[in-house]
């Protein structure tokens, strides 16, 4: 499974096919994965997987392709309407699951290390993500930063914003002093540092590898330990995407600052800590509200 064909231009397709053919694999292709995989695309993927009796789905692309692969993996042998069962009713999987592997070409969602799979229904104007259990996690994921070098800067920046929001959605929840928050602060500082380098030099291996590593840790459940988590920014962003089909990271960019400014007074201490520990805001001569405000417009 792959997207619009960029992997054929940058040589990744040829590398993957060479390995598969050298190992005697019978390969069926499902191209045309879109940024917001649709119900119609899911139906198409299920048909291809069933007709081909697929015993592995290999997603080669970014988070949307990985999401799509996992959605097909649980839906191909579902005897009910997968959209109704998994996305409207949020039921567990009780049918055969086709295992998934991932070769990552865009860094953002962490889909390569979790059970999440978002699907869009344009007719109903809904984009819904279902986080499936560990049975649906990719069996393996190949993370090579070099495979992300040719990504357009717009997509790279959207991915960076998505990573940041994955962390802040978990950070801004609860008022306790949790070890997970210290981990998140470190991840955010590293993300900011590496992103500033990557936007100037997209082939800086260390920066791109750090961003890839952070994306995985941001959403592999580690930093959620002991946290209630929020995800309201994602819910708002997905609502925007359902109506506009906009890139996921950019929908988050459109709604997140307004949302955090709105909730800041209700969690002022946490926003103050965020500004100081993540953005190095100097508190001298500033009120708590002023300190927090410096940290919100990320």
pLDDT over 90, % of the chain: 96
**Whether pTM exceeds 0.85:** yes
Read off the pLDDT of residues 103-136 as tens digits, 9 standing for 90 and up: 999 999 999 999 999 999 999 999 999 999 999 9
Read off the pLDDT of residues 149-161 as tens digits, 9 standing for 90 and up: 999 999 999 999 9
Q: Which stretch of DSSP H or E encloses residue 274?
A: helix 268-279
Q: Is the pLDDT of residue 28 over 60?
A: yes
Q: What is the pLDDT of residue 297?
A: 67
Read off the pLDDT of residues 195-224 as tens digits, 9 standing for 90 and up: 999 999 999 999 999 999 999 999 999 999
Q: Could you tell me if 97 and 73 are in contact, meaning their C-beta atoms sit under 8 angstroms apart? A: yes
C-alpha distances in Å from residue 160, one per residue of 123, 154, 178, 213, 215: 30, 10, 25, 12, 8
pLDDT over 70, % of the chain: 99
Average pLDDT value for residue range 64-70: 97
Residues 6+ apart with CB under 8 A from 166: 109, 110, 215, 218, 219
pLDDT classification of 4: cutoffs 50, 70, 90: confident
Q: Is the pLDDT of residue 51 over 70?
A: yes
Q: In degrees, to the nearest 5, what angle opens at C-alpha 287 toward C-alphas 283 and 290?
A: 80
């Amino acid at each position: 499974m792959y997207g619009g064909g960029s992997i054929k231009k940058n040589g990744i397709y040829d590398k993957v096919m060479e390995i598969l053919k050298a190992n005697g694999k019978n390969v069926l292709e499902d191209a045309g994965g879109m940024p917001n995989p649709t119900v119609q695309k899911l139906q198409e993927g299920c048909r291809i997987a069933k007709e081909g009796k697929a015993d592995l789905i290999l997603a080669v692309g970014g988070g949307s392709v990985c999401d799509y692969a996992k959605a097909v993996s649980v839906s191909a042998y579902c005897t009910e309407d997968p959209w109704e069962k998994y996305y409207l009713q949020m039921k567990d999987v009780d049918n055969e699951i086709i295992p998934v592997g991932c070769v990552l070409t865009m860094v953002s969602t962490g889909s390569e290390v979790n059970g999440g799979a978002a699907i869009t229904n344009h007719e109903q104007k809904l984009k819904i993500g279902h986080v499936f259990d560990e049975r649906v996690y990719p069996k393996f994921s190949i993370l090579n930063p070099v495979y992300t070098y040719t990504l357009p800067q717009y997509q790279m920046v959207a991915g960076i914003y998505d990573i940041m929001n994955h962390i802040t959605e978990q950070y801004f929840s609860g008022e306790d002093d949790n070890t997970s928050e210290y981990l998140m602060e470190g991840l955010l500082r590293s993300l900011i540092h590496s992103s500033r380098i990557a936007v100037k030099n997209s082939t800086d291996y260390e920066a791109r590898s750090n961003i890839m590593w952070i994306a995985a840790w941001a959403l592999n459940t580690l930093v959620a330990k002991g946290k209630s988590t929020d995800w309201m920014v994602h819910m708002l962003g997905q609502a925007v995407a359902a109506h506009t089909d906009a890139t996921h990271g950019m929908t988050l960019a459109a709604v997140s600052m307004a949302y955090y400014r709105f909730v800041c007074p209700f969690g002022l201490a946490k926003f103050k800590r965020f500004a100081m520990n993540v953005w190095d805001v100097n508190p001298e001569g500033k009120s708590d509200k002023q300190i927090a405000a410096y940290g919100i417009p990320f």
